Structure 1
Amino acid sequence: MKAANVAQLKKELQFKSQDELMQFCLRLARFKKENKELLTYLLFESDSEEGYIDTVKEEIDAMFEDINVNSYFYIKKSVRKILRTIKKYIRYSGNKATEVELLLYFCEKLKSFRPSIKRNVTLINLYNRQLDYIKKKIPLLHEDLQHDYSMILEELDQ
Protein backbone atom coordinates (compact mmCIF):
# COMPACT_ATOMS: atom_id res chain seq x y z
CA MET A 1 0.00 0.00 0.00
CA LYS A 2 1.35 3.40 -0.98
CA ALA A 3 0.85 6.20 1.54
CA ALA A 4 -1.00 9.33 0.43
CA ASN A 5 0.77 12.68 0.55
CA VAL A 6 -0.13 15.38 3.08
CA ALA A 7 -2.27 17.40 0.65
CA GLN A 8 -4.41 14.37 -0.18
CA LEU A 9 -4.83 13.53 3.51
CA LYS A 10 -5.80 17.11 4.31
CA LYS A 11 -8.48 17.15 1.60
CA GLU A 12 -9.94 13.86 2.78
CA LEU A 13 -9.93 14.84 6.47
CA GLN A 14 -12.02 17.92 5.71
CA PHE A 15 -14.97 15.65 4.92
CA LYS A 16 -14.81 13.70 8.21
CA SER A 17 -16.86 14.46 11.30
CA GLN A 18 -15.33 15.50 14.61
CA ASP A 19 -16.08 12.10 16.13
CA GLU A 20 -14.37 10.31 13.22
CA LEU A 21 -11.31 12.57 13.57
CA MET A 22 -11.08 11.78 17.27
CA GLN A 23 -11.23 8.06 16.52
CA PHE A 24 -8.45 8.45 13.93
CA CYS A 25 -6.24 10.26 16.46
CA LEU A 26 -6.79 7.63 19.13
CA ARG A 27 -6.09 4.85 16.66
CA LEU A 28 -2.86 6.56 15.56
CA ALA A 29 -1.82 6.92 19.20
CA ARG A 30 -2.07 3.16 19.70
CA PHE A 31 0.47 2.31 17.02
CA LYS A 32 3.61 4.27 17.81
CA LYS A 33 5.13 5.80 20.89
CA GLU A 34 6.12 8.91 18.90
CA ASN A 35 2.48 9.44 17.87
CA LYS A 36 1.46 9.35 21.55
CA GLU A 37 4.23 11.75 22.49
CA LEU A 38 3.26 14.21 19.74
CA LEU A 39 -0.41 14.00 20.72
CA THR A 40 0.55 14.59 24.37
CA TYR A 41 2.55 17.66 23.38
CA LEU A 42 -0.27 19.06 21.23
CA LEU A 43 -2.96 18.49 23.85
CA PHE A 44 -1.18 19.30 27.11
CA GLU A 45 2.09 21.13 26.61
CA SER A 46 1.79 23.31 23.49
CA ASP A 47 0.04 26.04 25.51
CA SER A 48 3.07 26.52 27.79
CA GLU A 49 6.29 26.38 25.78
CA GLU A 50 8.39 27.38 28.82
CA GLY A 51 6.99 24.49 30.84
CA TYR A 52 7.69 22.14 27.94
CA ILE A 53 11.29 23.36 27.72
CA ASP A 54 11.76 22.88 31.47
CA THR A 55 10.37 19.35 31.26
CA VAL A 56 12.73 18.46 28.41
CA LYS A 57 15.69 20.00 30.28
CA GLU A 58 14.90 17.84 33.32
CA GLU A 59 14.88 14.78 31.08
CA ILE A 60 18.21 15.84 29.54
CA ASP A 61 19.69 16.22 33.04
CA ALA A 62 18.52 12.73 33.97
CA MET A 63 19.94 11.26 30.78
CA PHE A 64 23.33 12.91 31.36
CA GLU A 65 23.40 11.51 34.91
CA ASP A 66 22.76 8.00 33.59
CA ILE A 67 25.72 8.01 31.19
CA ASN A 68 28.20 5.18 31.74
CA VAL A 69 31.55 6.97 32.12
CA ASN A 70 33.71 3.83 32.09
CA SER A 71 34.62 4.27 28.44
CA TYR A 72 34.37 6.96 25.77
CA PHE A 73 32.59 4.39 23.60
CA TYR A 74 29.63 4.36 26.01
CA ILE A 75 29.77 8.11 26.46
CA LYS A 76 29.55 8.66 22.68
CA LYS A 77 26.60 6.27 22.34
CA SER A 78 24.76 7.96 25.19
CA VAL A 79 25.44 11.50 23.95
CA ARG A 80 24.15 10.59 20.48
CA LYS A 81 21.02 9.09 22.04
CA ILE A 82 20.45 12.28 24.06
CA LEU A 83 20.84 14.39 20.92
CA ARG A 84 18.38 12.17 19.00
CA THR A 85 15.87 12.60 21.82
CA ILE A 86 16.32 16.38 21.82
CA LYS A 87 15.83 16.55 18.04
CA LYS A 88 12.62 14.53 18.42
CA TYR A 89 11.28 16.98 21.02
CA ILE A 90 12.28 19.89 18.79
CA ARG A 91 10.26 18.38 15.94
CA TYR A 92 7.22 18.15 18.21
CA SER A 93 7.45 21.81 19.13
CA GLY A 94 8.33 23.27 15.74
CA ASN A 95 9.36 26.50 17.47
CA LYS A 96 12.75 27.95 16.44
CA ALA A 97 13.38 29.54 19.84
CA THR A 98 12.74 26.21 21.57
CA GLU A 99 15.14 24.52 19.16
CA VAL A 100 17.95 26.96 19.88
CA GLU A 101 17.36 26.93 23.63
CA LEU A 102 17.38 23.13 23.90
CA LEU A 103 20.48 22.77 21.72
CA LEU A 104 22.30 25.45 23.73
CA TYR A 105 21.38 23.61 26.91
CA PHE A 106 22.68 20.35 25.42
CA CYS A 107 25.98 22.06 24.53
CA GLU A 108 26.27 23.53 28.04
CA LYS A 109 25.76 20.11 29.59
CA LEU A 110 28.21 18.50 27.18
CA LYS A 111 30.88 21.14 27.81
CA SER A 112 30.64 20.75 31.59
CA PHE A 113 30.50 16.93 31.39
CA ARG A 114 33.13 14.94 33.25
CA PRO A 115 35.27 13.23 31.97
CA SER A 116 36.00 16.06 29.59
CA ILE A 117 34.95 15.73 25.97
CA LYS A 118 38.25 17.36 24.97
CA ARG A 119 39.92 13.97 25.16
CA ASN A 120 37.75 12.53 22.40
CA VAL A 121 37.74 13.83 18.82
CA THR A 122 34.29 12.44 18.00
CA LEU A 123 32.67 14.24 20.93
CA ILE A 124 34.48 17.49 20.11
CA ASN A 125 33.27 17.27 16.51
CA LEU A 126 29.71 16.57 17.63
CA TYR A 127 29.85 19.56 19.98
CA ASN A 128 31.25 21.85 17.27
CA ARG A 129 28.63 20.71 14.74
CA GLN A 130 25.88 21.65 17.18
CA LEU A 131 27.43 25.07 17.77
CA ASP A 132 27.63 25.67 14.01
CA TYR A 133 24.01 24.58 13.62
CA ILE A 134 22.93 26.98 16.38
CA LYS A 135 24.86 29.83 14.71
CA LYS A 136 22.80 29.29 11.56
CA LYS A 137 19.50 29.23 13.48
CA ILE A 138 19.99 32.33 15.66
CA PRO A 139 19.54 34.92 12.85
CA LEU A 140 16.05 33.50 12.19
CA LEU A 141 14.85 34.51 15.67
CA HIS A 142 13.49 37.77 17.10
CA GLU A 143 16.16 40.45 17.74
CA ASP A 144 15.96 40.23 21.54
CA LEU A 145 16.33 36.46 21.48
CA GLN A 146 19.17 36.75 18.97
CA HIS A 147 21.14 38.89 21.41
CA ASP A 148 20.46 36.65 24.42
CA TYR A 149 21.31 33.43 22.60
CA SER A 150 24.36 34.96 20.93
CA MET A 151 25.78 35.81 24.35
CA ILE A 152 25.31 32.21 25.53
CA LEU A 153 26.81 30.93 22.28
CA GLU A 154 29.90 33.10 22.69
CA GLU A 155 30.48 31.65 26.17
CA LEU A 156 30.19 28.12 24.79
CA ASP A 157 32.41 28.86 21.79
CA GLN A 158 35.39 29.81 23.93
Structure 2
Amino acid sequence: MTTAVYGLQDIKKELQHLSGQQITELCLRLARHKKENKELLAYLIFEADNSPAFIEKVKAEAGFMFSQMPVRSYEAAKYLRKILRLLGKYIKFMASKEAETELLINFCTGYIQYADRRTSYKPLRTILVRQVEKTRTAIGKLHEDLQYDFITDYNAMLNDAGKNLSWFDKDSYLL
Protein backbone atom coordinates (compact mmCIF):
# COMPACT_ATOMS: atom_id res chain seq x y z
CA MET A 1 0.00 0.00 0.00
CA THR A 2 1.42 3.39 -0.99
CA THR A 3 0.33 6.62 0.60
CA ALA A 4 -0.66 9.59 -1.51
CA VAL A 5 1.80 12.46 -1.65
CA TYR A 6 0.04 15.79 -1.48
CA GLY A 7 1.48 18.95 -2.97
CA LEU A 8 2.17 22.15 -1.10
CA GLN A 9 -0.92 23.80 -2.62
CA ASP A 10 -3.16 20.97 -1.37
CA ILE A 11 -1.70 21.27 2.13
CA LYS A 12 -2.09 25.07 2.07
CA LYS A 13 -5.79 24.77 1.12
CA GLU A 14 -6.42 22.25 3.90
CA LEU A 15 -4.61 24.38 6.50
CA GLN A 16 -6.94 27.28 5.75
CA HIS A 17 -9.88 25.17 6.93
CA LEU A 18 -8.29 24.23 10.28
CA SER A 19 -8.67 26.07 13.58
CA GLY A 20 -5.77 27.75 15.37
CA GLN A 21 -5.74 24.96 17.96
CA GLN A 22 -5.48 22.27 15.27
CA ILE A 23 -2.65 24.12 13.51
CA THR A 24 -0.81 24.45 16.84
CA GLU A 25 -1.13 20.70 17.43
CA LEU A 26 0.16 19.95 13.91
CA CYS A 27 3.16 22.26 14.38
CA LEU A 28 4.06 20.67 17.71
CA ARG A 29 3.72 17.20 16.23
CA LEU A 30 6.04 18.17 13.36
CA ALA A 31 8.53 19.63 15.81
CA ARG A 32 8.67 16.34 17.73
CA HIS A 33 9.72 14.31 14.70
CA LYS A 34 12.87 16.07 13.54
CA LYS A 35 15.37 18.26 15.28
CA GLU A 36 15.60 20.53 12.24
CA ASN A 37 11.81 21.05 12.24
CA LYS A 38 12.02 22.13 15.87
CA GLU A 39 14.93 24.47 15.13
CA LEU A 40 13.10 26.01 12.16
CA LEU A 41 9.95 26.50 14.20
CA ALA A 42 11.96 28.09 17.02
CA TYR A 43 13.66 30.41 14.52
CA LEU A 44 10.34 31.44 12.96
CA ILE A 45 8.72 32.09 16.34
CA PHE A 46 11.56 33.70 18.28
CA GLU A 47 14.22 34.97 15.87
CA ALA A 48 12.71 35.76 12.44
CA ASP A 49 11.53 39.24 13.43
CA ASN A 50 15.11 40.40 14.14
CA SER A 51 17.32 39.04 11.35
CA PRO A 52 20.35 41.31 12.00
CA ALA A 53 20.60 40.09 15.60
CA PHE A 54 20.21 36.47 14.47
CA ILE A 55 22.94 36.92 11.84
CA GLU A 56 25.27 38.33 14.51
CA LYS A 57 24.48 35.36 16.75
CA VAL A 58 25.29 32.94 13.91
CA LYS A 59 28.54 34.82 13.16
CA ALA A 60 29.52 34.60 16.83
CA GLU A 61 28.80 30.86 16.90
CA ALA A 62 30.83 30.35 13.71
CA GLY A 63 33.64 32.50 15.13
CA PHE A 64 33.76 30.35 18.25
CA MET A 65 33.85 27.21 16.11
CA PHE A 66 36.71 28.65 14.03
CA SER A 67 38.67 29.33 17.21
CA GLN A 68 38.30 25.63 18.15
CA MET A 69 39.44 24.36 14.75
CA PRO A 70 41.98 21.50 14.82
CA VAL A 71 45.48 22.05 13.48
CA ARG A 72 45.85 18.92 11.33
CA SER A 73 44.58 19.46 7.79
CA TYR A 74 42.30 16.42 7.57
CA GLU A 75 40.51 17.24 10.85
CA ALA A 76 40.40 20.93 9.94
CA ALA A 77 38.66 20.14 6.63
CA LYS A 78 36.07 17.99 8.44
CA TYR A 79 35.53 20.77 10.98
CA LEU A 80 35.13 23.42 8.26
CA ARG A 81 32.48 21.24 6.60
CA LYS A 82 30.70 21.07 9.96
CA ILE A 83 30.69 24.88 10.16
CA LEU A 84 29.36 25.03 6.59
CA ARG A 85 26.54 22.61 7.41
CA LEU A 86 25.55 24.82 10.34
CA LEU A 87 25.65 27.97 8.19
CA GLY A 88 23.73 26.22 5.42
CA LYS A 89 20.98 25.29 7.84
CA TYR A 90 20.65 28.86 9.12
CA ILE A 91 20.78 30.28 5.59
CA LYS A 92 17.95 27.94 4.64
CA PHE A 93 15.95 29.08 7.70
CA MET A 94 16.37 32.78 6.85
CA ALA A 95 15.72 32.35 3.11
CA SER A 96 17.47 35.65 2.43
CA LYS A 97 20.13 36.25 -0.22
CA GLU A 98 21.56 39.15 1.81
CA ALA A 99 21.96 36.95 4.89
CA GLU A 100 23.50 34.19 2.78
CA THR A 101 26.03 36.58 1.28
CA GLU A 102 26.93 38.09 4.65
CA LEU A 103 27.42 34.68 6.28
CA LEU A 104 29.47 33.35 3.36
CA ILE A 105 31.79 36.38 3.44
CA ASN A 106 32.09 35.88 7.19
CA PHE A 107 32.96 32.19 6.68
CA CYS A 108 35.67 33.03 4.13
CA THR A 109 37.11 35.65 6.48
CA GLY A 110 37.17 33.13 9.33
CA TYR A 111 38.82 30.57 7.07
CA ILE A 112 41.56 33.05 6.11
CA GLN A 113 42.13 33.92 9.76
CA TYR A 114 42.14 30.43 11.28
CA ALA A 115 43.02 27.83 8.63
CA ASP A 116 46.60 26.65 8.15
CA ARG A 117 48.07 29.04 5.60
CA ARG A 118 50.87 26.75 4.46
CA THR A 119 48.87 23.59 3.89
CA SER A 120 49.09 21.71 0.63
CA TYR A 121 46.06 19.56 1.53
CA LYS A 122 43.83 20.04 -1.52
CA PRO A 123 40.44 19.37 0.16
CA LEU A 124 41.17 22.14 2.67
CA ARG A 125 42.02 24.58 -0.10
CA THR A 126 39.00 23.54 -2.16
CA ILE A 127 36.65 24.47 0.68
CA LEU A 128 37.69 28.13 0.46
CA VAL A 129 37.64 28.21 -3.33
CA ARG A 130 34.10 26.79 -3.47
CA GLN A 131 32.81 29.22 -0.86
CA VAL A 132 34.39 32.18 -2.66
CA GLU A 133 32.68 31.08 -5.88
CA LYS A 134 29.39 30.58 -4.03
CA THR A 135 29.72 34.07 -2.50
CA ARG A 136 30.39 35.61 -5.90
CA THR A 137 27.28 33.93 -7.30
CA ALA A 138 25.18 35.06 -4.31
CA ILE A 139 26.31 38.67 -4.77
CA GLY A 140 25.28 38.51 -8.41
CA LYS A 141 21.72 37.62 -7.38
CA LEU A 142 21.30 40.66 -5.13
CA HIS A 143 19.72 44.01 -5.96
CA GLU A 144 22.23 46.50 -7.44
CA ASP A 145 22.27 48.74 -4.35
CA LEU A 146 23.09 45.82 -2.07
CA GLN A 147 25.63 44.45 -4.53
CA TYR A 148 27.82 47.53 -4.12
CA ASP A 149 27.94 47.15 -0.33
CA PHE A 150 28.78 43.45 -0.50
CA ILE A 151 31.29 43.83 -3.35
CA THR A 152 33.37 46.10 -1.11
CA ASP A 153 33.43 43.50 1.68
CA TYR A 154 33.98 40.67 -0.82
CA ASN A 155 36.96 42.37 -2.49
CA ALA A 156 38.46 43.23 0.91
CA MET A 157 38.17 39.55 1.86
CA LEU A 158 39.84 38.55 -1.43
CA ASN A 159 42.70 41.00 -0.82
CA ASP A 160 43.16 39.53 2.64
CA ALA A 161 43.20 36.02 1.15
CA GLY A 162 45.72 37.10 -1.49
CA LYS A 163 48.05 38.49 1.18
CA ASN A 164 47.77 35.60 3.63
CA LEU A 165 47.41 32.55 1.39
CA SER A 166 50.26 32.12 -1.10
CA TRP A 167 48.30 29.51 -3.09
CA PHE A 168 45.17 31.65 -3.53
CA ASP A 169 44.84 33.61 -6.79
CA LYS A 170 42.56 36.51 -5.83
CA ASP A 171 42.52 37.99 -9.35
CA SER A 172 40.47 35.02 -10.58
CA TYR A 173 37.60 35.96 -8.28
CA LEU A 174 37.52 39.78 -8.23
CA LEU A 175 34.22 41.52 -8.95
| TM-score calculated relative to the size of structure 2 | 0.83
The one of 7, 10, 21 aligned to 2:9: 7
How far did residue 68 of structure 1 move? 2.1
| 1:128 equivalent in structure 2 | 129
How far did residue 116 of structure 1 move? 1.9
- Identity, in percent, stands at 38
Q: What code does the residue aligned with 2:18 have?
A: K
| TM-score calculated relative to the size of structure 1 | 0.92
The one of 31, 38, 47 aligned to 2:40: 38
User: What residue ranges of structure 2 are gaps of 5+ in the alignment?
Assistant: 159-169, 171-175
Q: What code does the residue aligned with 1:139 have?
A: G
SS of 2:132's equivalent in the other structure is helix
How far did residue 5 of structure 1 move? 2.2
Once the two structures are superposed, residues 5-36 of structure 1 have per-residue CA deviations (whole angstroms, 9 ceiling, x without a partner) of 21221121111111100111111111111111
8 A contact 1:110–1:117 mirrored in 2: no
Larger radius of gyration: 2
User: What residue ranges of structure 1 are gaps of 5+ in the alignment?
Assistant: none
Equivalent pairs, count? 157
How far did residue 74 of structure 1 move? 0.6
How far did residue 140 of structure 1 move? 2.2
8 A contact 1:117–1:123 mirrored in 2: no
Q: What code does the residue aligned with 1:81 have?
A: K
Distance change >3 Å, CA 135–CA 117, structure 1 → 2: farther
Distance change >3 Å, CA 122–CA 96, structure 1 → 2: same
| 1:29 equivalent in structure 2 | 31
How far did residue 65 of structure 1 move? 2.1
How far did residue 2 of structure 1 move? 4.7
| 1:108 equivalent in structure 2 | 109
Distance change >3 Å, CA 117–CA 2, structure 1 → 2: farther
Distance change >3 Å, CA 117–CA 81, structure 1 → 2: farther
Once the two structures are superposed, residues 111-135 of structure 1 have per-residue CA deviations (whole angstroms, 9 ceiling, x without a partner) of 1114226532212222111111111
Distance change >3 Å, CA 139–CA 89, structure 1 → 2: same
Cα distance in 2 for residues equivalent to 1:2 and 1:103: 39
Once the two structures are superposed, residues 29-57 of structure 1 have per-residue CA deviations (whole angstroms, 9 ceiling, x without a partner) of 11111111111111111111100101101
Q: Give the superposed CA RMSD.
A: 1.5
